[in-house]
Amino acid sequence: MSTNKRAYNFNAGPSALPLEVLEKAQQELVNYNGSGMSIMEMSHRSKDYDEVHNNAINRLKKLLSIPDNYEILFLQGGASLQFSMIPMNFLTKDKTASYILTGSWSEKALKEATLFGNAVVASSTKDNEYRNIPSIEDIQFNASDAYVHLTSNNTIYGTQWKEFPNTGDVPLIADMSSDILSRPIDVNQFGIIYAGAQKNLGPSGVTVVIIRKDLIEQANSEIPTMLKYKTHADKNSLYNTPPTFGVYMLGEVLNWVENQGGLETIQKRNEEKAKYIYDVIDESNGFYKGHAEPNSRSLMNITFRLADEELEKQFLADAKAAGFVGLNGHRSVGGCRASTYNAVPIEACIALRDFMYEFQKKHQ
């Protein structure tokens, strides 16, 4: 493959980044802004880095219309460390937190919480093989709960919340790792939003946390310094060395999203992209079987199966030979999955649609 030929990249994460962003990073790699060095080689206390850091914060704030009573943090440890940090900061032995289970990532989040306090299931769609998002009326929680936790997009099963429960005074916490910035959201509905960067925001290594300031003040203080939200909030995420290159890339991705026309435009495009592929599934007379129930379908991860594992193997092998990357389902569930994050171009989705049509014609 020549260096400028781009793959049809449907990886689930780390995943596609906008070509323009990669090219700009390449241009600036060895000499950032006339400094004679890479962003990676300069102090995180330097003026150049400071600008990169604060630009990323301000761009995110603008794109998501994040109100002033929220703090934006750039942490490390992935979304997985947030599974622990959240209960460490907000759940104690005498308190209860409610978890809505819609897939493997929410199960993992719940498991960590049980180490710190009483963590209970507010609703679960496991009995339905996580094919759907629960209806909002079925969610059980108490006004005394420390928080309610959900996963806004289920990367592995391919389901996504369309609207969120109103939890009143109980903070709603959302793992948005695989759909943040894919559509507009109302940040005010949430106490905390967190996301590992490597799906829709940039390279792995940065974790974005958007947290209401009053929660930071209420958090448990008897925990290690690095695991307190307050430590990072008080120092603008510069308490220790942040993942500087990751933050730089995040800033460039945010700039790209802005240049695309913002989140409304991005959402429309994501709907168009996903529709190409869901339409092939729906019009295939059962040749392709979608995993998610239609009203719970994700715009980011499209999961489907073929008649049997033999045919799936053939599909994946042929797809690979045709230049499609990352169509294998998660190792825990098998099948096929096309991840159509923000940076996946429309052309890649059209190419996949055409490939799926042709494959069906040949094999049905």
Candidate list 161, 179, 199, 230, residue with the active-site label: 199
- The reply to whether 106 sits in an annotated binding site is no
Binding region for ligand PLP (CB under 6 A) out of 18-26, 50-58, 175-183, 251-259:
175-183
Helix H or strand E encompassing 210:
strand 207-212
Candidate list 161, 175, 228, 273, residue with the active-site label: 175
Angstrom CA distances, 363 to 277, 302, 311, stand at: 18, 21, 9
Is residue 177 near ligand PLP by the rule CB under 6 A? yes
- The reply to whether 348 sits in an annotated binding site is no
Angstrom CA distances, 278 to 31, 275, 313, 332, stand at: 44, 5, 20, 22
Is residue 290 near ligand PLP by the rule CB under 6 A? no
Work out the number of other CB atoms within 10 angstroms of the CB of residue 62: 12
Is residue 202 near ligand PLP by the rule CB under 6 A? no
Would the CA dihedral through 179, 78, 190, 137 be positive or negative? positive
Angstrom CA distances, 39 to 26, 52, 104, 243, stand at: 12, 9, 36, 11
Residue 175 bears catalytic tag: yes
- 84 or 360: whose CB is closer to ligand PLP? 84
Is residue 79 near ligand PLP by the rule CB under 6 A? yes
Binding region for ligand PLP (CB under 6 A) out of 23-31, 78-86, 226-234, 326-334:
78-86
- 145 or 175: whose CB is closer to ligand PLP? 175
Residue 105 bears catalytic tag: yes
Give the Cα separation of 171 and 336 in Å (integer). 35
Size of the site for ligand PLP (CB under 6 A): 12
Binding region for ligand PLP (CB under 6 A) out of 45-53, 73-81, 110-118, 247-255:
73-81
Is residue 105 near ligand PLP by the rule CB under 6 A? yes
- Say if CB 341 and CB 269 are below 8 A apart: no
Select the residue interacting with ligand PLP from 196, 243, 326, 335 (CB under 6 A): 196
Is residue 80 near ligand PLP by the rule CB under 6 A? yes
CB of 335 to ligand PLP, least distance (A): 17
List of residues 6+ apart from 74 with CB closer than 8 A: 53, 56, 57, 206, 207, 208, 209, 237, 242, 243, 246, 247, 250
Closest alpha carbon to 349 in 121, 108, 83, 16: 16
Closest alpha carbon to 107 in 194, 175, 209: 175
Residues 325-364 that bind ligand PLP (CB under 6 A): none
- 79 or 193: whose CB is closer to ligand PLP? 79
- 165 or 205: whose CB is closer to ligand PLP? 205
In the three-class reduction of DSSP (H, G, I as helix; E, B as strand; rest coil), residue 172 is classed as strand
Select the residue interacting with ligand PLP from 175, 248, 324, 352 (CB under 6 A): 175
List of residues 6+ apart from 10 with CB closer than 8 A: 16, 324, 325, 326, 327, 337, 338, 339, 340, 344, 348, 352
- 155 or 270: whose CB is closer to ligand PLP? 155
Angstrom CA distances, 213 to 52, 85, 107, stand at: 23, 16, 27
- The reply to whether 256 sits in an annotated binding site is no
Is residue 11 near ligand PLP by the rule CB under 6 A? no
Closest alpha carbon to 204 in 233, 175, 177: 177
Is residue 151 near ligand PLP by the rule CB under 6 A? yes
Closest alpha carbon to 190 in 178, 173, 210: 173
Residue 161 bears catalytic tag: no
Select the residue interacting with ligand PLP from 98, 102, 125, 178 (CB under 6 A): 178
Catalytic residues: 105, 175, 199
> Binding site residues for L-glutamate, as ranges?
45
Residues that bind ligand PLP (CB under 6 A): 13, 78-80, 105, 151, 155, 175, 177-178, 196, 199
> Binding site residues for pyridoxal 5'-phosphate, as ranges?
79-80, 105, 155, 175, 198, 240-241
